[in-house]
Amino acid sequence: MNSTICPRCGNQTHKLFEGRCKSCFLENFVLAEIAQVLHAKICSGCEARYVKSKWVNYGGLEDVVVHTAEDALFIHAMAEDIEIYIEPRARTPYLYRVHIVVDALVLDEMFHQELETEVRILRESCDMCSRISGGYFEAIIQVRATNRIPGDDEKQECMAIINDVLERMLNKGDRLAFISNSLDIREGTDLYLGSSNAARHICKEINSRMGGSFSESATLQGRKDGKDMYRITFSLRLPEFMPGDIIDHRGRIIEIRRFSKNVTGNDLETGARFTASSDDLTGAVLVAKRKDLPRTTLVAIENNDILVLDPETYETVTLKKPPMFNASEGSDIAVVRTEKGLIAVADMTR
């Protein structure tokens, strides 16, 4: 095997490391280095960190300090099996001392090094918070309902879906996934969003979970860098009927159970499962909502019939026993008044 002479100690060696033999190289080897003072730019509003010319989200202030030290830490390229321990210690809300421990294997030798640095916190407003405070928006979502006004429960469910979508998109790096303003009006709610892409995802998610439809239209706002700039209005329509609604659909009394791509429910008279598209419900009429159904006394059960008191006239009437009926005589049951007359409604339907 060929050998050479170490220019520092004069000993023969089979390989030089940065112009020295292994012993001379390791004698003054520095495993890790870091600057004595580091700066971390953090948004005063959302705690995002400015790194590599962009704002990114982190969990908390200590996470930002740790990542700042980790990014600035230089470890020799020949190090293997590296283990790093970083401990931030707050001196003030704007100053952290950071203790760093590095262990690694270099040329079959274990090296241990401890370092100290200081991280100074600089606070300013990030791109997202600046745009929110300035009322910036690219899209408007108009939340409405077909042939009715959305209820408070529906609005809350929509907002839960919206916040979930925005959080997911923000975590993926979309810094425009925010609501800059919202207006509650009689017909529903108008939401102003920083990202038209986020608005589109929101509409699709609401339609998937709650049913309905949406359309979009663009309005030219001007030009920037030679490109046309548009604002997009999304008209989001919640379905005319919601879970718990009892409708008359072509003579069948149906309780709506679920809305998604299709509408599912139960025929209150036969217990048969009902499935249809939203378009198939055109012409259906709302009879009542389950939560508003009157309750009356179950007088007796006779085979497939039941005797109840009419909640308006208090006369005893005979009704067909509903499917999945498990009430006992003397108890209160729900009934719905239709063009066919009273129909008993079981407390639990399929």
Which CATH number do you get for residue 272? 2.40.50
Give, for 64, the enclosing helix (H) or strand (E): helix 61-72
Q: At what angle do helices 196-210 and 152-171 cross, to 10 degrees?
A: 130
Residues 249 and 223 in one domain: no
Residues 54 and 4 in one domain: no
pTM attached to this predicted model: 0.68
Examine residue 295 and state whether it is found in any structural domain, yes or no: yes
Pick the last residue of a domain from 238, 270, 285. 238
Pick the last residue of a domain from 89, 122, 155. 122
Pick 44 or 200 by higher pLDDT.
Answer: 200
Strands 109-124 and 37-43: parallel
Residues 140 and 189 in one domain: yes
Cβ atoms of 150 and 142 closer than 8 Å? no
Strands 179-185 and 49-51: unpaired
Distance set, CA 306 to CA 79, 189, 329 (Å): 84, 45, 9
Instruction: Encode pLDDT of 130-153 as tens digits.
Output: 888 888 999 999 999 988 899 888
Residues 275 and 330 in one domain: yes
Residues 160 and 111 in one domain: no
- CA angle at residue 25 from 21 to 29, to 5 degrees? 170
Q: Shortest CA distance to 165 belongs to which of 193, 132, 198?
A: 198
Cβ atoms of 13 and 21 closer than 8 Å? yes
Instruction: Encode pLDDT of 217-236 as tens digits.
Output: 988 877 676 677 778 999 99
Q: Tokens in use for 145? A: 């309902």
- pLDDT at position 99 is 96
Pick the last residue of a domain from 174, 206, 238. 238
Domain encompassing residue 212: 135-238
Three-class SS of 322-341: CCCCCCCCCCEEEEEEECCE
Enumerate residues 6+ apart whose C-beta is below 8 A from 234.
Answer: 139, 140, 141, 142, 199, 200, 203, 214, 215, 216
Residues 256 and 334 in one domain: yes
Give the pLDDT band (50/70/90) at residue 348.
Answer: low
Q: What is the DSSP letter of 73?
A: -
**DSSP assignments along 268-315, one per residue:** TTT--EEEE-GGGGTT-EEEEEGGG--EEEEEEEETTEEEEE-TTT--
Examine residue 90 and state whether it is found in any structural domain, yes or no: yes
Q: Tokens in use for 341? A: 């007359």
Examine residue 81 and state whether it is found in any structural domain, yes or no: yes
Does residue 7 surpass a pLDDT of 90? no
Residues 194 and 250 in one domain: no
Examine residue 129 and state whether it is found in any structural domain, yes or no: no
Total tally of structural domains belonging to the chain:
4
Q: What percent of the chain has pLDDT over 90?
A: 37
Residues 263 and 340 in one domain: yes
Examine residue 350 and state whether it is found in any structural domain, yes or no: no
Residues 25 and 39 in one domain: no
Examine residue 128 and state whether it is found in any structural domain, yes or no: no
Mean pLDDT for the chain overall: 87
Residues 140 and 234 in one domain: yes
Residues 229 and 274 in one domain: no
Q: What percent of the chain has pLDDT over 70?
A: 97
**DSSP assignments along 244-275, one per residue:** TEEEEETTEEEEEEEESSSEEEEETTT--EEE
Give the pLDDT band (50/70/90) at residue 33.
Answer: very high
Residues 232 and 145 in one domain: yes
Examine residue 159 and state whether it is found in any structural domain, yes or no: yes
- pLDDT at position 118 is 95
Give the pLDDT band (50/70/90) at residue 349.
Answer: very low
